[in-house]
A and B are shown apart, each in its own frame.
Chain A
């Protein structure tokens, strides 16, 4: 199992080295990178024997076990199945990209990103801890963002990338919350232990919220309705990305998560209803939109959405047969859709267009690619002898076996498949067979590197269709068993004999042919309907919502962040005093009767001096008078200190006050006279705020007088002033002896302030002195 960790690290290092390799290595570099991926594939293939015996591997590096956070890897049938898919497709896509990306100036960046994605995706499917999985999951979202926005000069690409990122990451965040809840319910986030605690989780009162959160992650990633719209937008990415991320692997991450957690959270009515309904809607919607597109890649994107819907539907039905159908359909879809996306890229490259209305008869210029495409399309249509046929038959069988809502689902499924048949036939006969049509120059024969991927995938589709039992034994059975251990034998065959499923298949094909014959008539009508009549677009609605959100945020920010210092102060004052007032009023009755000393005549005069000087300082227009009044306030306080026995404090205060006055006098003559900036209303408002603060401070002092402060600290100083510090002026002893370090700090502050003052006064303005 450490081998797998090492392989992941190798993949990451390869990703970082790939830019150098690509820019220096020339033609062979993409092949080398493909080899790294293929080596992983071959090596993982070696595990199939061990895993198909029912074993699993686990590897954990503890990180924060108290919070169930570990870095874990877990290999069982399901993760092996996906890991093979990721590495196998990765190898083919890398080779394909080597030729496809040639004209791009930034191709070294592309290879880095796609390898980074492969690393993330492989790590995701091999994660043995839900939190490890979450990190890799988000990494796939980020690399998808960068790859969709690869042609970043185009605003559409940037928009599509942002949309895909926001939707998948928002879902990912919800999913993380769901994971945390799962961890709290089960006391672990390790997958191999979660698989055993399904009963605890399903019966937990928090099951439903956790389920909804996890589903939010899965549905956004796997483009389920109503989040489906990011996937067609993501077709802005170069074709290899569409083939790899947006059909074969990344969009299946949600499906993988559902499969992984199916033994943990699945089987409940909530699970069944949410998954079946969402899946069915997505399936039909995808089919409809696929039928009405004219861009080859858009057609493929919507059929992908439809296929993802089918997979979710199958997992929602949650019977033995439907799980089987889901696994095999997943493989089927990855094979044909990966091939078709690569062919779409190939056509785009050699013909210069993807518009189905302008291209046709491509078998005359690219026979091999056309053959691969036709084989793949036959698989998509679910026609024998392709593996797609087996997948479709199983799906039908699963729907047949359902008791109540099964009929409705069967109708929906048949409708979708009719559309698939029609689309496949339309693509075969219009795009690849028939008279040659092209918009620009005569298309050239595509390079070998472009053909090899799709041909191999198409070949596998055909071989698996002819010999389904082999693939079932070593690859599919273990995967199915990890979802549902109770399934032991798993036989696949092309021929099931005559039964109702086959009958429905015949009906599907027949209706599909009819729909194909009408394709040329219906398609323009539907295109018209989609563009002119139904003007609602999910993507537009999303953008609008985003803009509204940004607008509101800006408004909120400009309201809170006024940029005026006094409003920030006011906010602080109001908030603090309102909270403090609340606390004062709330605790007021606890204060016992207060005994106050009666003020004498002398004190009364001092207080009067302070109060009148304060009022003058605030209101007077003359700067000099204001400063002098402030000085009077200071001296008044000093007198109070003398009366109450704080002679050192009084001396210091008077000294400081005098110095400040002198400094103020020096500076003030360089400053203009007071100008009255504020209106009367704002002055009243400020006065109200001031009284609010002042009132609460008064209340605070009254309350503070009633507190029994612990006198021990002071007692210590009083008792030890002479024995320890050999001084009888306790205040001085505290400052220079007991708390000498504090005083050192205080002196440091003064020095810093002094340096600051000197620096400020000596500094010459660059523009020259203003005065």
Chain B
């Protein structure tokens, strides 16, 4: 399962990179979202995969042996998801303004506009 997940993560990153290298700003944002998905999954897999029960502390003493799933990566991912959401929302608004101001979604025209 880890091997398969590793390949999927690689694929998600590859999709992100490919979309980031497009000239269209919409695809750029799609690429960023792929990146954040891939990274979340990466952290999750790196923490170790353990099927089944969610992580709950039952009692102070023998909690560790009872719940082998590592809670720390999950906490990290939670933070990452929220931040990623904030960034995406901001980017969407920025993209909207960008298109309104320039009338194009082609990022290459940014440079040509600079030279005019």
Which residues on A are within 8 Å of B, measured CB to CB? 562-566, 569-570, 573, 594, 596-599, 603, 607, 610-611, 614-615, 617-618, 623, 626-627, 630, 633-634, 637, 640-641, 643-649, 652-653, 656, 659-660, 663-664, 667-668, 670-672, 674-675, 677-678, 686-687, 689-691, 693-702, 704-705, 709, 711, 713-715, 717-723, 727-731, 733-735, 739, 742-743, 746, 749-750, 752-754, 756-757, 760-761, 763, 765, 769-771
Query: Chain B contacts of A617 at CB under 8 A?
Result: 15, 30, 34
Tell whether A689 pairs with B10 under 8 Å between CB atoms, given A597-B1, A645-B50, A761-B96: no
A750 touches B86 (CB 8 A): yes
Q: Which of A597, A670, A704 is the one whose CB lies under 8 Å from B99?
A: A670
With A and B bound together, what is the CA distance between A607 and B70 in angstroms? Answer: 22
Q: Which of A566, A694, A753 contacts B13 (CB under 8 A)?
A: A694
The interface bits of chain B over 58-90 (1 if a CB of A lies within 8 angstroms of the residue's CB, else 0) are 111001100101111011011101111111111
Chain B residues within 8 Å of A596, by CB: 1-3
Known A667-B95, A718-B63, A769-B100; judge A734-B83 contact (CB<8 A).
no
| 5 A–B contacts from the bound complex (CB under 8 Å) | A634-B37, A667-B96, A693-B13, A701-B9, A719-B60
B89-101 interface mask toward A, CB cutoff 8 Å, 1 = contact, 0 = none?
Answer: 1101111110111
A667 to B88, CA, bound (A): 12
In the complex, the answer to whether A652 meets B17 with C-beta atoms within 8 Å is no
New contact pairs (7) apart from A645-B55, A677-B24, A690-B16, CB-CB < 8 Å: A627-B30, A640-B5, A714-B70, A718-B71, A722-B63, A731-B74, A731-B78
Interface of A is mostly: helix
**Among candidates A630, A634, A701, A727, residue contacting B10 with C-beta atoms closer than 8 Å:** A701
B37 touches A718 (CB 8 A): no
* Complex interface: chain B residues within 8 A of A564 (CB): 107-108, 111
Asked if residues A746 and B50 are in contact (CB atoms below 8 Å), the reply is no
Within 8 A of A (CB), among B4-57: 4-24, 26-27, 30, 33-34, 37-38, 40-42, 44-57
Contact of B93 among A597, A709, A761 (CB under 8 A): A761
Of A646, A659, A728, A754, which is within 8 A of B44 by CB?
A: A646
CA of A722 to CA of B55 in the docked complex: distance in angstroms? 13
Please name all residues of chain A whose beta carbon is closer than 8 Å to the beta carbon of B34 when the two chains form the complex. 614, 617, 630, 633
CA distance A603 to B19 in the complex (A): 27
**Chain B minimum-CB-distance residue to A751:** B86
Q: Are B14 and A690 in contact (CB under 8 A)?
A: yes
A753 to B26, CA, bound (A): 19
Task: Kindly list chain B residues whose C-beta atoms are within 8 Å of the C-beta of A742.
Answer: 79
Which B residues are CB-close (under 8 A) to A570?
Answer: 21
User: With A690-B15, A753-B87 in contact, is A717–B72 under 8 Å at CB?
Assistant: yes
With a CB–CB cut-off of 8 A, which chain B residues contact A649? Answer: 44, 74, 77-78, 81
Most buried by A among B16, B26, B83: B26
**A686–B78 CA distance with the chains assembled, in angstroms:** 31
A690→B11 CA distance, assembly (Å): 9
> Are the CB atoms of A660 and B93 closer together than 8 Å?
no
Contact call B93/A563, Cβ cutoff below 8 A: no
On whether the beta carbons of A728 and B58 are closer than 8 Å, the reply is yes
Question: With A563-B114, A645-B69, A746-B79 as given contacts, are A690 and B17 in contact (CB-CB < 8 Å)?
Answer: yes
B71 touching A717 by the CB < 8 A rule?
yes
Residues of A contacting B42 in the complex (Cβ-Cβ under 8 angstroms): 697, 700-701, 704
Asked if B45 and A566 sit within 8 Å, CB to CB, the answer is no
Residue in chain A with minimal CB distance to B14: A694
Least distance between B54 CB and chain A CB atoms (Å): 4
Q: A644-B49, A760-B93 are in contact. Are A770 and B99 (CB under 8 A)?
A: yes
Q: Is the CB of A691 within 8 A of B14?
A: yes
Check if B64 sits within 8 Å of A734, measured CB to CB: no
Residues of B within 8 A of A696 (CB): 10
- Report the nearest B residue to A598, measured CB to CB: B1
Assembly CA distance A674 to B108 (angstroms): 15
Within 8 Å by CB of B6, from A702, A721, A733, lies A702
Pick the contact of A607: B8, B88, B103, B111 (CB < 8 A): B8
- Complex interface: chain B residues within 8 A of A562 (CB): 111
Chain A min CB distance to B100 (Å): 5
Complex Cα spacing A637 to B38, Å = 9
On whether the beta carbons of B22 and A614 are closer than 8 Å, the reply is no
Contact B1 A694 (CB under 8 A): no
Given contacts A607-B4, A617-B30, A697-B13, contact A644 B44 (CB under 8 A): yes
Which B residues touch A664, using CB under 8 A?
92
